[in-house]
Structure 1
Amino acid sequence: MRIQQLSELLEYVANCRLSMGKLYGRLHRNADSSRVKLMLEYFQQHEQHIHDTLISYIEDAPSRILDTWYKDIVFEDFVKRCVTTSLPANMTEDQVLELHLDLENRLIELVEKTANSSATDEVKSALLDIVRVAKTQQKRLVHSTIRMDDI
């Protein structure tokens, strides 16, 4: 996928979050373990929340930021990755968490890479704020998942 404008990038990341949610829904239908199902439901809700937050950000962000142009921002077909990814029915909580972190880190790295190639400090700062929030949410999600083990 080739991205030219920041608005395209943010919309793409938001759609990738929906694809992750769909992946978790599909895995949920195939999972044997009730704990894994609970975890997948939580991840599915988390991805919907992040999608909605990104869409809200796009709606509220100044056009001078969203209209920023980039050269050569190329990214994998993330949606295809989500569609073709599968785990066995006896998947473990660790496997699900590892999959989630892999997918999420790919998206965070895309935004971070874009931030580092931004021409203005304003755009770079806005994108790095998105990265910072995503990493903070990721830490909270991991801690919540670990607490699930304690239940």
Structure 2
Amino acid sequence: MRIQQLSELLEYVANCRLGMSKLYKRLHRNADSSRVKLMLEYFQQHEQHIYDTLESYIEDAPAKILDTWYQDVVFEDFLKRCDETSLPANMDEEQLLELHLDLENRLIALLEKTAELTSSNDAKSALLDVIRVAQTQQKRLVHSVLRMDDI
């Protein structure tokens, strides 16, 4: 995937979040463990929430920031990765969390790479805010999953 404008990047990341939600829905159908199914439902809701938040951000962000142009920002076909990812029916919570963190960290790395290439201070600041929020949400998600272990 080649990204040329910040608006394209944010739309792509939002769509990747939907791809993750679909992956978790598919894994839910095959999972044996009720605890894993519970985590998958939580992850689905989490990804849908992030998608909705990003879409709202894109609608409200100034065109000046969204129209920032980039050269040579290339990223893997993340949606294909989600479509081709599978875990065994007997997956455990740790395997699922590892998968989630791997996928999420790939998206955060894309945002960080793009922020490094950004010359506009406003666009860079906006990207750094998105990264900060993503990292904060990731920490909260991990804490929530760890609390599930205590139940």
Moved more, 139-148 or 117-126: 117-126
Distance 2:74 2:137 in 1: 25
Tell me the CA shift for residue 133 of structure 1.
Answer: 0.4
Name the residue aligned to 1:131: 131
Name the residue aligned to 2:22: 22
Tell me the CA shift for residue 127 of structure 1.
Answer: 0.2
Name the residue aligned to 1:78: 78
AA at the equivalent of 2:35: R
Distance 1:13 1:28 in 2: 23
Name the residue aligned to 1:148: 148
| 2:102 counterpart of 1:87 | no
Name the residue aligned to 1:97: 97
Ranges in structure 2 where 5+ consecutive residues have no aligned partner? none
Distance 2:122 2:66 in 1: 11
Distance 1:34 1:10 in 2: 34
Ranges in structure 1 where 5+ consecutive residues have no aligned partner? none
Q: What TM-score do you get using the length of structure 2 for normalisation?
A: 0.99
Q: What TM-score do you get using the length of structure 1 for normalisation?
A: 0.99
Distance 2:150 2:95 in 1: 17
AA at the equivalent of 1:58: I
Q: Secondary structure at the match of 1:39?
A: helix
Q: Secondary structure at the match of 1:42?
A: helix
Length, aligned pairs only = 151
Distance 1:119 1:64 in 2: 13
Distance 1:120 1:29 in 2: 45
The percent identity for this pair of structures is: 80
Moved runs in structure 1, 4+ residues, more than 6 A? Answer: none
Tell me the CA shift for residue 120 of structure 1.
Answer: 1.3
Distance 2:64 2:90 in 1: 49
- CA RMSD across the alignment: 0.4
AA at the equivalent of 2:125: S
Provide, for residues 9-49 of structure 1, a one-character-per-residue CA deviation record: whole Å limited to 9, x for no partner. Answer: 00000000000000000000000000000000000000000
